[in-house]
């Protein structure tokens, strides 16, 4: 099978599989075509976004999360990875050098999982070692797998964050099909932290179910029994969200799932979310759990929420997307100073346009 992938890559022809599930079973190693580095496509000026940047070198994922937007997004569902890491790094180096004062947080997970299968691990390893030499960039690997062994001996220079989407076992079992179990993710988290990587944690999407409060309490306690808050660079919190078209896809593709049955409201970004009082309740609950676990020192932010929700959860909110970008950079500067080439200047970030 590996040899077949090599031949396809040599000819530069993707199988172009349209079926979402079938595409997960075919891997295409692709050359680089066009620009691959850009700001996250989810950025919406009507919400406070973290303005992360992404490398679109992975497309599709071998896992089957019922809530995954890819089932409604991909026209070519072939699991694809761009193998030309040197060209990717050259593009990043050229574009980020135009703003040497800025700390770029750059993820590989926009259209897939960063570490789900071995070829992704190999590509990730090459990027990890390349980012060690980029002065104003942080590489963000985000996964629901436990496939971290190739990273452990890498010369990462402290410039890569390995992150996990974390949900209680009840959610993993029902809604994150084929992904690593929670205990396996926790062991992987311990391993990368021991290898000197900062860890990121994403309670996103949080999902409602009977007993969710106690389940998330156990989850937070388990996480911080595995790693210390000092090793965690940031924590994001967000809720289940999907557009109306994807609602139909979820119900057709995963008829046993009940995630579309909760009371929801359609936002300005054309995505259904839990009603605001429910979201605020969920976010406040996790925030309180984090404080009790000693994780109040970790930079914690909401994903794709408005100013009023930030105010209700934190009692404050960033003034703009650029302000949140600055606050994250400032937190990194203070807690992980080796990751920044220079001290962040607020006025520079506030002048950014999105």
CATH of the domain at 339: 3.80.30.30
What 3 state SS string does 57-107 have? CEECCCCEECCCCHHHHCCCCCEEEECCHHHHHHHHHHHHCCCCCCCEEEE
State whether residue 205 is helix, strand or coil: strand
User: Per residue in 179-203, pLDDT tens?
Assistant: 999 999 999 999 999 999 999 999 9
CA distance 300 to 328: 9
* CA-to-CA separations, 104 to 38, 96, 107, 124, 139, in angstroms, rounded: 11, 7, 10, 17, 9
In the chain, which stretches have pLDDT less than 50?
1-11
Q: Which of 129, 108, 120 is nearest to 148 (CA)?
A: 120
Give the pair of three-digit tokens for residue 174.
């029902």
Q: Give 330-335 contacts, CB < 8 A, sequence gap 24+.
A: 331/233, 331/234, 331/299, 332/103, 332/138, 332/233, 332/299, 333/103, 335/233, 335/297, 335/299
Give the pair of three-digit tokens for residue 335.
């807690």
271, 42 contact by CB (below 8 A): no
Residues 6+ apart with CB under 8 A from 266: 244, 272
CA distance 91 to 71: 29
Q: Which of 25, 49, 31, 27 is nearest to 39 (CA)?
A: 49
State whether residue 199 is helix, strand or coil: strand
Q: Measure the CA angle with vertex 78, ends 85 and 241; round to 5°.
A: 95
Residues 6+ apart with CB under 8 A from 286: 203, 206, 216, 220, 237
pLDDT value for 14 = 64
Range of the domain at 44: 2-350
Per DSSP, which regions of 192-231 are E strands? 199-206
Q: Which helix (H) or strand (E) holds 242?
A: strand 241-242
Q: Which helix (H) or strand (E) holds 234?
A: strand 232-239
Considering its fold, how many domains does the chain have in total?
1
Q: Which of 182, 186, 184, 149 is nearest to 168 (CA)?
A: 182
pLDDT value for 237 = 98
CA distance 273 to 282: 12
Q: Which residues of 327-336 are buried (b: 16+ CB within 10 A; e: fewer)?
A: bbbbbbbebb
pLDDT value for 91 = 96
Give the pair of three-digit tokens for residue 212.
């969710």
Give the pair of three-digit tokens for residue 333.
């500067």
């Amino acid at each position: 099978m590996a040899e077949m992938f090599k031949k396809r890559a040599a000819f530069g022809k993707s199988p172009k599989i349209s079926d979402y599930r079938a595409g997960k079973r075919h891997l295409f190693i692709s050359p680089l075509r066009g620009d691959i580095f850009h700001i996250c496509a989810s950025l919406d000026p009507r919400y406070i976004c973290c303005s992360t940047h992404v490398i679109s070198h992975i497309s599709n994922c071998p896992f089957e999360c019922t809530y995954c937007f890819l089932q409604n997004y991909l026209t070519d569902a072939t699991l694809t990875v761009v193998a030309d890491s040197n060209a990717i790094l050259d593009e990043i180096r050229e574009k980020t050098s135009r703003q040497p004062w800025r700390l770029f947080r750059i993820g590989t997970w926009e259209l897939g999982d960063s570490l789900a299968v071995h070829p992704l691990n190999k590509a990730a390893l090459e990027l990890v070692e390349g980012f060690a030499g980029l002065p104003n960039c942080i590489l963000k690997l985000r996964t629901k797998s436990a496939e971290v062994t190739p990273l452990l001996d890498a010369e990462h220079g402290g410039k890569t964050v390995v992150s996990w989407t974390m949900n209680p076992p009840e959610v993993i079992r029902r809604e994150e099909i084929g992904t690593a179990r929670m205990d396996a993710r926790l062991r992987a988290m311990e391993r990368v932290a021991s290898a000197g990587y900062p860890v990121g944690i994403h309670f996103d999407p949080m999902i409602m179910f009977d007993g969710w409060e106690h389940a998330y309490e156990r989850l937070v306690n388990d996480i911080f029994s595995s790693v210390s808050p000092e090793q965690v660079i940031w924590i994001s919190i967000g809720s289940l969200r999907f557009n109306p078209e994807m609602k139909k896809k979820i119900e057709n593709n995963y008829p046993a799932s009940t995630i579309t049955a909760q009371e929801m409201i359609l936002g300005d970004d054309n995505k259904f979310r839990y009603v605001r009082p429910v979201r605020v309740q969920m976010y406040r609950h996790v925030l309180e759990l984090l404080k009790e676990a000693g994780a109040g020192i970790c930079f914690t932010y909401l994903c794709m929420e408005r100013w009023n929700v930030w105010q209700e959860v934190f009692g404050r909110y960033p003034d703009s997307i650029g302000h949140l970008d600055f606050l994250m950079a400032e937190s990194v500067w203070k807690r992980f100073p080796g990751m920044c080439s220079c001290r962040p200047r607020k006025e520079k970030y506030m002048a950014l346009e999105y």
